[in-house]
Amino acid sequence: MFDLTVKTLGGVSFHLDKGEFRAPTRKAAALLVYLGLSPRGSRSREHLADVLWGRSADEQARASLRQTLSSLRKALGERADLLEAGSDEVGIRRDRLEMDALEFETLANSAGHADLERAAGLYQGAFLDGFSLKEEGFEDWLAFTRQQYGELALRLFLRLAEYHRMLQEYETALRYAQRLLALDPLREQTHRLLMELFARLGRREQALLQYDECERALKKELDVAPADETRKLYASIRSGGALANEHPPGEDVEPEQSRASSPPVSRTRAGKPSIAVLPFDNLSGDPAQQFLADAIAEDLITNLSHDRWFDVIARTSTQKYREDKAGIADIAAEPDRA
């Protein structure tokens, strides 16, 4: 049983074992969160004064820190010993503290599927959403930390969406893909995934509307058109064509390590250069991280496809080389690869 629980994903709130705890000031709330996420749970007084009271003179900043610590201890009552204040350092007892951000980080980096699902349940929104201080040091830290947790959530939802897609659990995959798109509306890979999932669920009109949404977003924000792979998927869905089933029932859902290389370049029949991004190796030793390797390759394909000077080979055409031992020159020389 933890003495203090701190919720930071989707806002900020504190709970003692007896119920909700209200920090006496915003600076006090910021101090609790900052200490909780600090290495070893402690920071020097000089550092804390600079981060939280950077606009004040040194002596005044230190006095404000002392006053905030005093008000926190008073508010914590019998739990005041959660805070440890020395002459040079201030700390918080991490062994008696539960923080959703710390748990989320651990679970989201796990290889276990159950851990990933738990991590997804913890992520209720951006780190300290709606919270800010008019202090440059704290705001810089807040922006960086918020970005770090946001990127971790992106990778998490992508892993879960792909995992359930490969299991053909399309409704569950769809929910994670929608959460993924909410975090990054310009991620074309996610629009494609949603189009495919809607189509596999028999919701063809929604799949076509997803393409329209993707096209509008890319045009408005980036002034680019959807990639060839996205347009081909749209045309296939619109015509009622069958979708490729890359992971039929019974296949392993955790791909083995794949081979990566520099993208081979060749010429199309029309003489226009073409380029292919081959599957990336997963060098982590953790099969669950294959999703991240695939996502990087996917992003490369998407970005390259916006260059109209050459054609980019679709990802579905290069997947067959995941276990192929042919050399780069042999792959590039294949006449029907494009």
- Of 3.40.50.150, 2.60.40.3880, 1.10.10.10, 3.30.1490.20, the CATH number of 1-159 is 1.10.10.10
**CB distance 226 to 332 below 8 Å:** no
The length of the chain is 338
Domain ranges of the chain: 1-159, 185-251, 265-333
**CB distance 35 to 90 below 8 Å:** yes
pLDDT beneath 70: ranges in the chain: 1, 244-273, 284-292, 294-295, 298-299, 301-338
C-alpha–C-alpha distance, residues 156 and 58, integer Å: 42
**Cα 322 off chain centre by:** 25
Tokens 């915003």 belong to 26
C-alpha–C-alpha distance, residues 120 and 263, integer Å: 34
- Of 3.40.640.10, 3.40.50.620, 1.25.40.10, 3.40.50.300, the CATH number of 185-251 is 1.25.40.10
Q: Is the dihedral of CA 185, 188, 191, 193 positive or negative?
A: negative
Predicted structure pTM score: 0.71
pLDDT of residue 333: 61
Query: Quick one: angle between helices 290-304 and 188-200, nearest 10?
Result: 110
How confident is the model over 72-95, as pLDDT tens digits? 999 999 999 999 999 999 999 999
pLDDT of residue 323: 63
Cα angle 296-300-302, degrees, rounded to a multiple of 5: 115
How confident is the model over 225-264, as pLDDT tens digits? 999 999 999 999 999 877 765 444 334 444 333 333 344 4
